[in-house]
């Protein structure tokens, strides 16, 4: 049994890894391809980290709130918001053990490379659904099922990726419809190639 990973220690250097920046750009592009974004929309980026995906989507929505359980990540995102001087991005610390996910209602909830760090996913997806306006959209990017070799440190890795069937089942169990799963991009690590799936769905 693993325990949650402490992302605080890596927050300051998170954006210095070019592979992460590239991946975030590719995931954001896949989200935009899968879902036509609207400048009227309020969005929430769950497990936002330092906001690599959050910032990519911000120009195309009315507002976007980055939510993360790591205070280090949220501090880094808060500093980046101040430096960039953007007014439609906000950062919010979330304690999965004690707090409600977020107040507010959203038209879009995104998440990139975070679901595999969450033990119980269906309740989380149900809480996403409760936060969405009727007809609101969800876009979740994560590893396709892998053999456990993606992470050198297995701490806080609750799932070795997901199959398209697993993602579809979990989304339907949480009450989503119009579920679609695509391969968004791939991550190359040495000689290994790890596909990243993008699941999109609608809250009815």
Ligand X SMILES: C[S@@+](CC[C@H](N)C(=O)[O-])C[C@H]1O[C@@H](n2cnc3c(N)ncnc32)[C@H](O)[C@@H]1O
* 117 binding ligand X? (CB under 6 A): yes
* Minimum distance of ligand X from residue 48's CB (angstroms): 5
* Minimum distance of ligand X from residue 36's CB (angstroms): 22
Size of the site for ligand X (CB under 6 A): 19
Spatial separation of the C-alpha atoms in residues 143 and 9, rounded to whole Å: 23
DSSP state of 115: G
Among 28, 35, 52, 196, binds ligand X (CB under 6 A): 52
* 49 binding ligand X? (CB under 6 A): yes
Edge-first strand listing for the sheet containing 89-93: 89-93, 63-68, 42-46, 106-112, 132-143, 192-203, 176-189
Q: Concatenated DSSP letters for 35-103?
A: S---TT-EEEEET-TTTHHHHHHGGGSSEEEEEES-HHHHHHHHHHHHHHT-SSEEEEE--TTTS-S-S
Spatial separation of the C-alpha atoms in residues 7 and 72, rounded to whole Å: 7
* 112 binding ligand X? (CB under 6 A): yes
Hey, is 181 helix, strand or coil?
A: strand
Among 114, 185, 200, 203, binds ligand X (CB under 6 A): 114
* 20 binding ligand X? (CB under 6 A): yes
* Minimum distance of ligand X from residue 141's CB (angstroms): 8
Residue nearest to ligand X (CB): 49
Binding mask 132-171 for ligand X (x = CB under 6 A): ----------------------------------------
* 53 binding ligand X? (CB under 6 A): yes
Among 41, 56, 65, 70, binds ligand X (CB under 6 A): 70
- What tokens appear for 128 in the block? 């996403």
Minimum CB distance to ligand X smaller for 140 or for 204: 140
For 160, counting Cβ atoms within 10 Å of its Cβ (0-12 exposed, 13-18 middle, 19+ buried), the class is middle
Cβ(176)–Cβ(20) below 8 Å = no
* 24 binding ligand X? (CB under 6 A): yes
* 7 binding ligand X? (CB under 6 A): yes
- By the criterion CB under 6 A, which residues form the site for ligand X? 7, 20, 24, 47-49, 52-53, 68-70, 73, 94, 96, 112-114, 117-118
């Amino acid at each position: 049994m693993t325990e949650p990973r402490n992302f605080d220690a890596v927050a300051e250097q998170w954006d210095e890894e070019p592979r992460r920046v590239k991946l975030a750009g590719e995931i954001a592009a896949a989200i935009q391809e899968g879902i036509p974004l609207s400048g009227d929309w309020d969005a929430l980026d769950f497990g936002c980290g330092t906001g690599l995906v959050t910032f990519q989507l911000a120009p195309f929505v009315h507002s976007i709130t980055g939510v993360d359980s790591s205070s280090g990540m949220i501090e880094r995102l808060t500093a980046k918001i101040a430096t960039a001087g953007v007014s439609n991005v906000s950062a919010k610390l979330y304690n999965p053990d004690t707090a409600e996910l977020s107040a507010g209602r959203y038209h879009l909830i995104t998440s990139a490379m975070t679901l595999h760090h969450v033990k119980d996913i269906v309740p989380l997806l149900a809480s996403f659904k409760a936060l969405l306006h009727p007809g609101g959209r969800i876009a979740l990017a994560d590893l396709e099922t892998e053999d456990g070799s993606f992470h050198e440190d297995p701490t806080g890795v609750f799932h070795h990726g997901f199959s398209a069937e697993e993602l579809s089942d979990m989304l339907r169990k949480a009450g989503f419809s119009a579920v679609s799963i695509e391969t968004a991009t791939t991550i190359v690590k040495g000689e290994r190639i790890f596909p990243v799936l993008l699941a999109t769905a609608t809250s009815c």
